[in-house]
A = this chain, B = another copy of it.
Amino acid sequence: MQNEILNETGSAAPSDSSSPESLTSRAYLRLKQDIISGRLMPGRKLKIEELRRQYDIGTSPIREALSLLTSDHLVERWDQRGFRVANVSEGEFSELLKTRCWLEERALRESIANGSDEWEERVVLANHRLSRIPRSEASDHFVANAKWEEAHKHFHMTIISECGSSILLKFCKQLYDQNIRYRQLSGSKAYPKRDIADEHNAICQAVLARDANKAATLLIDHYKNTGTFVHSELTV
């Protein structure tokens, strides 16, 4: 199903080795992961033949997956000249951050206005689980922890999940993924200084108190703080 393909990013293909999904889905998820994680660098040419050999998947599924990624702004298509990984720029990152704040603020306010008790419980749970996962896999130097990334995305998507518009939610997810890529590319060296867990706790509290203004301010600050780090890394 298309929705499953688009929504789940990292957690796909759990334990089942012989995935029943189509090869297109598999190619889509692998390519998406490889681009978001920074393994495939911006601007890099995506030669069909190369990918075909590497992923052991035919050209059609690869092409379809690349077409799909094009809509996510992770891949660019140059008519008659193939595909390449979408470029990054400071300007685009500013736009991304700005747009994300606009959309997520709206979604958060709607969620706080409409969210059920069951939703509150999901928020608490998501925050708790996130707090229990270390940000980095190593304690002395920073190594991105995929589990943390997954839990982090889940927390942020949970607090806006009851906004009443699956369309808006989809847009937010898309922008979130684009943002991860910028985070990964910028090295993330500066992060550990901030106590991110505290920020999440504060957001969680404001959400549970149904204090929309406070929650929105905290969320936007949370994003903008991260943004300045990414920006400074990008400029160097």
Contact = CB atoms under 8 A, between A and B. Distances in A.
A166 interface: yes
5 contacts: A5-B79, A60-B63, A71-B71, A71-B72, A96-B167
Query: In this complex, which of A2, A72, A98 has the most chain B Cβ atoms within 10 angstroms of its Cβ?
Result: A2
Contacts of A73: 167
Interface of A: 1-2, 5-6, 21-22, 24-25, 60, 63-64, 67-68, 70-73, 76-80, 95-96, 98-99, 102-103, 106, 164-168, 171, 175
Q: Which residue of A68, A96, A102 has the most chain B CB atoms within 10 A of its CB atom?
A: A102
Nearest to A70: B2
Contact of A168 (B60, B76, B80, B102): B102
A76 B103 CA distance: 25
The quantity of this chain's copies bound in the complex is 2
A167 B99 contact: yes
A195 to B, nearest CB: 30
A113 to B, nearest CB: 13
Q: Across chains A and B, which 7 residue pairs bring their CB atoms closest together, nearest first?
A: A71-B71, A2-B77, A67-B67, A99-B165, A99-B167, A64-B67, A95-B165
A162 to B, nearest CB: 13
A102 B106 contact: yes
B165 A79 contact: no
A80 B22 contact: yes
A158 to B, nearest CB: 19
A98 B25 contact: no
Nearest to A75: B2
A80 B1 CA distance: 9
Contact of A2 (B2, B64, B76, B80): B76
B63 A168 contact: no
A180 B106 CA distance: 24
Contacts of A6: 71
A60 B70 CA distance: 16
Contact of A64 (B25, B63, B95): B63
Contacts of A5: 77, 79
Contact of A175 (B70, B95, B99, B167): B167
Contacts of A63: 60, 64
Contacts of A60: 60, 63
